[in-house]
């Protein structure tokens, strides 16, 4: 059977529903309230897997203990009847020049187009098929915050591409397409980026320990460091002019998530001889540890900043849900300390809740990222140094 995307949402736990999960049809989904849409990796094959990703989102938002609140919705997808080979190969199409070795389904996955037609299209299209009013489309799009992991980022990239094509067919101008698409926020862990121009507003997070990360940036960044487990982990933010509309995408990288037990352990991880760091919890759990080492201090800050980015993106959606004029979301503001605009649980129920130190770590990451930008993109002045005009 062909791969299909199925979806569900977090809901209050009851005796009859102890897992706090509800399967829904794609056509039931609406974006009339602030939303986190979880797009996880290609191993997300069941509702249980999808609910696990939704729980990660819940925890990153500090929502543990606030399950009864209905001010936001957390949606999560899984890939039913997934063909593992097709899902993996579809990502490789991004960088493979010889497309002839891939099937048509691998190059243009029907399960992603079906997901768009049944779910996301309603943002830019009325029920009768006509184009949505521009202001309404912007409002609905700003309610959309995508939390993606690995293959889920590939899905987000394809949805971006499919949506822009559809909007053009429906008569949206280039300016309208740009203005509407940038309202969607993508917080991506281990991004599987398209090397095409992304129109969503995006923050990517990657550890160079995680060999699944496949971008041109990775080789340039690894050349910058020596393989030395005693070296302090470096964290930085670089602009991505090759992959995005100006000012809409940042890549947030770290070399070591762990303080390794030995050089041999780090070498094993670095050379891709294990997949034990390629998992969401390795990035976001403050006390994560495995046989190779324990979460480093800078690795802990990394998880805090993923949380901060998602919280601020959703807070912006909540703010805009209460006002007539849209308040823009900017990548350079997404790590600032600010109160959440949505209901949260208690501090005791959210021990990993982010601290104000995340903003200080971000300032240092920007400084280090500026240095790396000079090596990665020598022909262009890095955006973070220019004091650019926001679009």
Domain boundaries, the chain: 4-385
What band does 194 get if pLDDT is binned at 50, 70 and 90? low
pLDDT at 198 over 70: yes
pLDDT tens, 218-245?
555 555 444 444 455 667 888 777 777 7
Q: Which residue has the higher pLDDT, 221 or 62?
A: 62
Backbone angles phi, psi at 260, to 5 degrees: -75, 150
Which of 205-209, 257-261, 303-307, 319-323 is predicted least confidently? 205-209
Which of 23-37, 158-172, 252-266, 344-358 is predicted least confidently? 344-358
pLDDT tens, 250-278?
888 888 899 999 989 988 887 788 889 99
d(CA 334, CA 317): 12
**Separation of CA 180 from chain center:** 18
pLDDT at 28 over 60: yes
pLDDT at 182 over 80: yes
pLDDT at 307 over 50: yes
What band does 387 get if pLDDT is binned at 50, 70 and 90? very low
pLDDT at 35 over 80: yes
Look at residue 219 in the predicted model and tell me its pLDDT.
56
Query: How many C-beta atoms surround the C-beta of residue 325 within 10 A?
Result: 7
State the angle between helix axes of 151-169 and 110-118 in degrees (0 to 180), rounded to the nearest 10.
60
Q: Which residue has the higher pLDDT, 162 or 212?
A: 162
Look at residue 384 in the predicted model and tell me its pLDDT.
42
d(CA 362, CA 374): 19
What band does 379 get if pLDDT is binned at 50, 70 and 90? low
> Taking residues 300-327, what's their average pLDDT?
93
Q: How far apart are the first and last CA of the chain?
A: 44
Look at residue 229 in the predicted model and tell me its pLDDT.
44
pLDDT at 372 over 80: no
3-class state of residue 353 by DSSP: coil
């Amino acid at each position: 059977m062909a791969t299909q995307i199925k979806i569900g949402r977090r809901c209050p736990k009851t005796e009859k529903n102890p897992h706090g999960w509800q399967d829904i049809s794609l056509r039931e989904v609406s974006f009339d309230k602030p939303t986190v849409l979880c797009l996880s990796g290609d191993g997300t094959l069941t509702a249980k897997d999808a609910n696990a990703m939704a729980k990660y989102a819940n925890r990153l938002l500090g929502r543990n203990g606030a399950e009864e609140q209905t001010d936001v919705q957390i949606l999560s997808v899984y890939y039913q009847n997934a063909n593992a080979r097709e899902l993996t190969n579809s990502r490789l199409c991004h960088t493979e020049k010889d497309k002839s070795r891939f099937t048509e389904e691998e190059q243009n996955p029907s399960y992603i187009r079906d997901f768009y037609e049944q779910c996301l299209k309603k943002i830019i299209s009325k029920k009768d098929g006509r184009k949505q009013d521009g202001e309404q489309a912007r409002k609905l799009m700003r309610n959309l915050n995508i939390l993606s992991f690995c293959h889920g980022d590939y899905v987000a990239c394809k949805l971006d591409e499919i949506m822009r094509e559809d909007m053009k067919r429906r008569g949206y101008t280039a300016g309208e397409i740009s203005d509407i698409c940038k309202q969607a926020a993508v917080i991506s862990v281990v991004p599987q980026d398209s090397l095409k121009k992304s129109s969503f507003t995006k923050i990517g997070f990657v550890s160079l320990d995680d060999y699944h990360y496949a971008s041109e940036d990775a080789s340039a960044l690894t050349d910058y460091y020596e393989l030395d487990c005693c070296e302090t982990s470096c964290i930085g933010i670089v602009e991505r002019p090759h992959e995005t509309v100006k000012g809409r995408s940042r890549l947030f990288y770290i070399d070591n998530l762990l303080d390794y037990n030995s050089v041999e352990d780090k070498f094993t991880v670095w050379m891709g001889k294990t997949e034990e760091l390629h998992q969401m919890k390795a990035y976001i759990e403050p006390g994560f540890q495995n046989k190779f080492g324990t979460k480093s201090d800078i690795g802990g800050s990394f998880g805090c900043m993923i949380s901060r980015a998602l919280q601020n993106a959703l807070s912006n959606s909540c703010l805009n849900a209460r006002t007539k004029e849209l308040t823009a979301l900017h990548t350079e503001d997404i790590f600032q300390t600010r109160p959440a605009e949505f209901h949260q649980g208690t501090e005791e129920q959210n021990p990993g809740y982010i601290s104000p130190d995340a903003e200080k770590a971000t300032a240092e990451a920007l400084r280090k990222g500026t240095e790396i930008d000079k090596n990665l993109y020598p022909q262009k002045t890095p955006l973070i140094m220019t004091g650019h005009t926001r679009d």
